[in-house]
Amino acid sequence: MSALQQQFGPIDIYLFDQLLRGNIAPGMTILDAGCGYGRNLVYFLRQGYQVFGADFDAQAIHETRQLAHGLPASNFHLEPVENMTFPDGFADVVISSAVLHFARDDDHFLAMLRGSWGVLKPGGLFFCRLTSSTGIERQVQPISGRCHLLPDGSERYLVDAAMLLRLSGELGGELTDPLKTTVVHNQRSMTTWVMRKR
């Protein structure tokens, strides 16, 4: 394993970009909403950030607690992101990486989004990566509402740029970056949505 891999772990490259640009700095409280097995938390844990997380998967929370062995187990909640028990305005940075596209329908998507947004402090940074229809509109097959079958065989709730821009305004968010989308071999499309809470 290289020194970079040891230091940063398997961090999302677009989250790494936010670090490089100084948008996430030491001393900030990080909350990974839908933390999974903690892949985006390795660097923050090693650098002594205040790190918290939530996930509905018991095994994932167990593994993340092991990864964060120096922190209280209570920092990592076994709960869905739409019903997190962290206080409102709790975190300087909320990470939502590959989570919101598992929404069952519009109501579920909005509940997960509002749950993740609510724990963010005013002025805080919301980092989100999720599957979108951008660039693969003709390759996806509708199932119900915004839920689609992707060419890679997965089923996802798909957003588009117009929806994300509308939601940014409704939430009281201000984009810190333009929306950035990567189309992966015409199999899926991932959009990065980063904004500050006014």
DSSP letters, 28-43, are -EEEEET-TT-TTTHH
Q: What pLDDT is attached to residue 196?
A: 98
Give 1's pLDDT tier (boundaries 50, 70, 90).
low
Query: Among the residues of 34-105, which ranges form H helices?
Result: 42-46, 58-67
Number of domains in the chain: 1
Other C-beta atoms closer than 10 Å to the C-beta of 141 total 9
Do 108 and 82 form a contact (C-beta atoms < 8 A)? Answer: yes
Q: How far is CA 189 from the centre of its chain?
A: 15
For residue 173, the enclosing domain spans 3-197
Residues 58-117: pLDDT tens digits? 999 999 999 999 899 999 999 999 999 999 999 999 999 999 999 999 999 999 999 999
CB neighbours of 162 closer than 8 A, spacing ≥ 6? none
| Residue 108 token pair | 């579920």
Any idea what the CATH number is for the domain that residue 123 is in?
Answer: 3.40.50.150
